Structure 1
Amino acid sequence: MSSPSPLSTRERILDAAQKLVRRGEGIVSMAAIAKAAGLSRQALYLTFADRADLYVALVRRVDEARGIPEEFAKVRNAPDAVAAIRALVDMQARLLPLVKPIADVFELLRRQDPDAERAWQDRLDSRRDQCRYIVERLVEEKRLRPDLSPGIAADLAWSLTSFRMWDELVVQCGWTAERYGTYVSALIENAIVAPRSRPAPSRQRRPKPGAKP
């Protein structure tokens, strides 16, 4: 049997960084990452420009491992905007339990480390882009609530699909993934989607007095 191919320098660095970050011991220095990866600091900086660059790559790697790019594709390939909303909420319901360990660490780390904050904002921006796309489709389909601007509607959808909201409802309140998906989808739809107009009921002409029925 052939032996497994050795990890690339990039993968060695990301493996080491992920293990150190998961320990939750606060700010992780580039020197500590280099040592854990068995590399010199020079080799580390030849691969990543700085710690922020490394953190962004790490968060994206975690998302890719969980299939998030493919899930975003499902949102964009949904048949209509309402189906796209449901696909986004369904994605959060299924994948956030898998992302939670690293998300919890970054929630703490970003408060003390600007580089971690930049990486986490990069991740949040990806979901915000999906929400903007959904709102663009609502506009095209003439289904956006008329009292909302596209920017406000996207902000609402982005906030209602946040990790924090999922964590409070599922982890803190004990909701099932099914309940989360059902109620959060309905909440977003009620918040930003205009109800379909119903045709006015036809008026039946009243018979003239004395006319035969």
Structure 2
Amino acid sequence: MEPQNARSRRTGAALLQAARELIEADGFEGLTMQAVAERAGVSRRGVYLHFSSRTDLVTALYRDLGRTEEVAASLQAVWDSPDGRAALTEWAAHIARSHPRILAIMAAVDHARRSDADAAELWETAQSRWLMGCTRLMRWLADEDSLAECWTVETAADMMWALMSPDLLTRLLSGRGWSRQEVADHLGTLFRATFLRQEQTP
């Protein structure tokens, strides 16, 4: 007989997968506790045993995306770089390899956030974390005296954050047919030319 905690973990994973599939298929508007229950083959009561509210479910889904799509491991490669310049190039690679995996979710959340409080909260959480990462990276460059003189840490972080827009990736990958490697290579070139002191730009 399967242990109760193992069954609970399996059910929780099924609910998160169902939530993701609903968002990708029907947009954030399609994410209801009833729809998640039906898709996962769980009673509505069973959903509430794992997640006390839709907000709780959405928060757990966001955290799960980082685990299942290995976003955290990809990001760690940035912070493991030997210096800020290498980290800047690795940041471009991180965006190219990780963000396409969550584009459908982020697009759905972006669309719904103006009228849906849960979507708005999820969007703000994601964006604040992206901005924190950008700020950490630009502070690293500044500490090494590698940040171009036209930038402050704050303005450079703001610009990098803006360049991480899901719309940019959608346009390049879907609209123009770029590969992820092309995105990584050209974003890396753009980032180095934009944010590094001129004498450090190849």
* TM class by smaller structure: 0.7 to 0.9
- Specify whether residues 161 and 19 from structure 1 end up closer, same or farther in structure 2 by C-alpha distance, changes over 3 A only: closer
Normalising to structure 1: TM-score of the pair? 0.78
- Specify whether residues 149 and 115 from structure 1 end up closer, same or farther in structure 2 by C-alpha distance, changes over 3 A only: same
Amino acid at match of 1:152: T
Find 1:164's aligned residue among 163, 167, 172: 167
* Residue 115 of structure 1: aligned partner: 118
1:44-193 mapped onto 2 (5 Å cutoff): 44-45=47-48, 47-193=50-196
CA distance in 1, matches of 2:187, 2:64: 27
Deviates more, 1:76-85 or 1:118-127: 118-127
CA contact (8 A) 1:27 1:109 kept: no
Following TM superposition, by how much is the alpha carbon of 1:35 offset from its aligned partner in structure 2, in angstroms? Answer: 5.0
Identity %: 25
* Residue 43 of structure 2: aligned partner: 39
CA distance in 2, matches of 1:163, 1:39: 35
* Residue 20 of structure 1: aligned partner: 22
Deviates more, 1:23-32 or 1:145-154: 23-32
- Specify whether residues 44 and 6 from structure 1 end up closer, same or farther in structure 2 by C-alpha distance, changes over 3 A only: closer
Q: Is the partner of 2:147 in helix, strand or coil?
A: coil
CA distance in 2, matches of 1:10, 1:141: 45
Q: Is the partner of 1:174 in helix, strand or coil?
A: coil
Following TM superposition, by how much is the alpha carbon of 1:152 offset from its aligned partner in structure 2, in angstroms? Answer: 0.5
Deviations 1:110-161 (A, max 9, x none): 3442211211322222222221111111111011222222110001111123
Amino acid at match of 2:20: Q
Amino acid at match of 1:172: G
Amino acid at match of 2:154: G
Following TM superposition, by how much is the alpha carbon of 1:195 offset from its aligned partner in structure 2, in angstroms? Answer: 2.4
Higher share of residues assigned helix: 2
CA distance in 1, matches of 2:23, 2:50: 18
Work out which of the two has the higher radius of gyration on C-alpha atoms and give 1 or 2. 1
CA contact (8 A) 2:85 2:146 kept: no
CA contact (8 A) 1:109 1:116 kept: yes
CA contact (8 A) 1:72 1:130 kept: no
CA contact (8 A) 1:110 1:120 kept: yes
Q: Which ranges of structure 1 fall in alignment gaps of 5 or more residues? A: 198-213
* Residue 7 of structure 2: aligned partner: 6
Following TM superposition, by how much is the alpha carbon of 1:77 offset from its aligned partner in structure 2, in angstroms? Answer: 1.0
CA contact (8 A) 1:16 1:36 kept: yes
Following TM superposition, by how much is the alpha carbon of 1:192 offset from its aligned partner in structure 2, in angstroms? Answer: 2.0
Q: How many residues align?
A: 195
CA distance in 2, matches of 1:150, 1:96: 23
- Specify whether residues 183 and 19 from structure 1 end up closer, same or farther in structure 2 by C-alpha distance, changes over 3 A only: closer
CA contact (8 A) 1:94 1:177 kept: yes
Following TM superposition, by how much is the alpha carbon of 1:18 offset from its aligned partner in structure 2, in angstroms? Answer: 2.4
CA contact (8 A) 2:109 2:123 kept: yes
Deviates more, 1:17-26 or 1:133-142: 17-26
CA distance in 1, matches of 2:179, 2:15: 36
Deviates more, 1:178-187 or 1:103-112: 103-112
